[in-house]
Chains A and B, each alone.
Chain A
Amino acid sequence: DAKTTQPTSMDCAEGRAANLPCNHSTISGNEYVYWYRQIHSQGPQYIIHGLKNNETNEMASLIITEDRKSSTLILPHATLRDTAVYYCIVRVAEYGNKLVFGAGTILRVKS
């Protein structure tokens, strides 16, 4: 699986959009971009994933560049409860394929 690069930490004001970048310059054509987050002491929580097109769900939006070498997770109106470590992971969606977690980005939402 391709490696990803994320900033170590970011701050965001409550109520503002949080934009979390991820670089995955060696991504292969059949690799998806997944985002998970881990709120302190809890299990990783699935947020969103995509292959080529931008995706949106009730939690977030995922913007993938046309060359697929980078992506941005957008939390449109961050709240204090969104403070967490956010992981960007690329993986092939195949039989039993594991998730390879990096260090992630610590997002601190401040009031």
Chain B
Amino acid sequence: DTAVSQTPKYLVTQMGNDKSIKCEQNLGHDTMYWYKQDSKKFLKIMFSYNNKELIINETVPNRFSPKSPDKAHLNLHINSLELGDSAVYFCASSRTSETQYFGPGTRLLVL
């Protein structure tokens, strides 16, 4: 009965590679988010999608591209990975303007 799930849980990769993180929610929500938590532990919004439409893009490098194939999924593709991309990435979902519920996180380490 997982609400918001993310895969993979851990991702270790080399600089310059391209990788994707997947997020799925079974709550019937129409809005999904990606947040990034860096080494200093601050959580910051990256993107938000509502009904597959991008509504928030918080000055994130073009190397990051979210894709929402349907309302239940929001994937994050990252091109040309850099050392500074190492962080924990959290997916969240909500019913439009209501409370957001978070996934368990994907720990990305770029070597």
Residues of A within 8 A of B (CB): 34, 38, 41-46, 49, 85, 87, 93-101, 103
Count A-B pairs with CB separation below 8 Å: 54
Q: Do A98 and B105 have beta carbons less than 8 Å apart?
A: no
Which residues on the A side are within 8 Å of B8 (C-beta)?
none
Q: Most chain-A CB neighbours within 10 Å: which of B31, B50, B97, B104?
A: B97
Question: CB distance B104 to A42 under 8 Å?
Answer: yes
Say how far A35's CB is from chain B's closest CB, in angstroms: 11
- Stretch among B41-49, B66-74, B76-84 lining the A interface: B41-49
Interchain Cβ contacts under 8 Å between A and B, 11 examples: A43-B92, A44-B43, A44-B90, A46-B100, A46-B101, A87-B43, A96-B31, A99-B35, A100-B45, A101-B42, A103-B42
Task: Please determine whether B44 and A43 come into contact, CB atoms closer than 8 angstroms.
Answer: no
Distance (Å) between the CB of B88 and the closest chain A CB?
8
The reply to whether B100 and A95 form a contact with Cβ atoms under 8 Å apart is: no
Give the docked Cα–Cα distance between A100 and B58 (Å).
Answer: 12
Interface size on B, as a range, is: 20 to 34
Chain B residues near A41: list those with CB within 8 A: 105
Instruction: Verify if B55 is at the interface (C-beta below 8 Å from A).
Output: yes
B98 at the interface (CB under 8 A from A): yes
Using a CB–CB cutoff of 8 Å, the interface residues on chain B facing chain A are 4, 31, 33, 35, 41-45, 48, 50, 55-56, 58, 90, 92, 96-105
Given contacts A43-B90, A44-B90, A46-B99, contact A98 B45 (CB under 8 A): yes
B50: min CB distance to chain A, Å = 5
Selected from A34, A95, A101, the residue in CB contact (under 8 A) with B44 is: A101
Known pairs A43-B105, A49-B99, A96-B50; list 11 more (Cβ under 8 Å).
Answer: A38-B43, A42-B104, A42-B105, A44-B43, A44-B92, A46-B99, A93-B98, A94-B97, A96-B56, A99-B35, A100-B45
Residues in B neighbouring A46, C-beta threshold 8 A: 99-102
